[in-house]
Amino acid sequence: MDKKSREYEVCLCHHVTRGEVEDFIREHQITDLKTLCESMDVGNKCGGCREDLDMILSDCAAEA
């Protein structure tokens, strides 16, 4: 699946999709990876999704 799709499962450990992350970032005005990971409880188990989460943060910041 395309990483830009809202259905893309970013965090496999917690089963969180890109769409859920994007909505959370916008709703809570998240601007940094640490806050996103702590607030959403993602990226803190295996860490494999942190690069994708950082990319999503950048994409949302570029839209704003």
Per-residue pLDDT tens digits for 40-49: 999 999 999 9
State the CATH number of the domain containing residue 34.
Answer: 1.10.10.1100
Residue range of the domain that includes 28: 9-63
Regions of the chain short of the pLDDT cut 50: none
Q: Residue 28: its pLDDT value, please? A: 98
CA distance 53 to 46: 13
Q: How many domains does the chain have?
A: 1
Q: What is the mean pLDDT of the chain?
A: 96
Q: Does residue 3 lie in a domain region?
A: no
Side-chain half-sphere of 23: how many Cα atoms within 13 Å?
7
Q: Does residue 20 lie in a domain region?
A: yes
Q: Does residue 4 lie in a domain region?
A: no
Q: Are 7 and 19 in contact (CB under 8 A)?
A: yes
Going by the DSSP 8-state scheme, the letter that residue 12 receives in this structure is T
Cα Rg of the chain (Å, integer): 10
Q: Residue 42: its pLDDT value, please? A: 96
Q: What is the pTM of this model?
A: 0.94
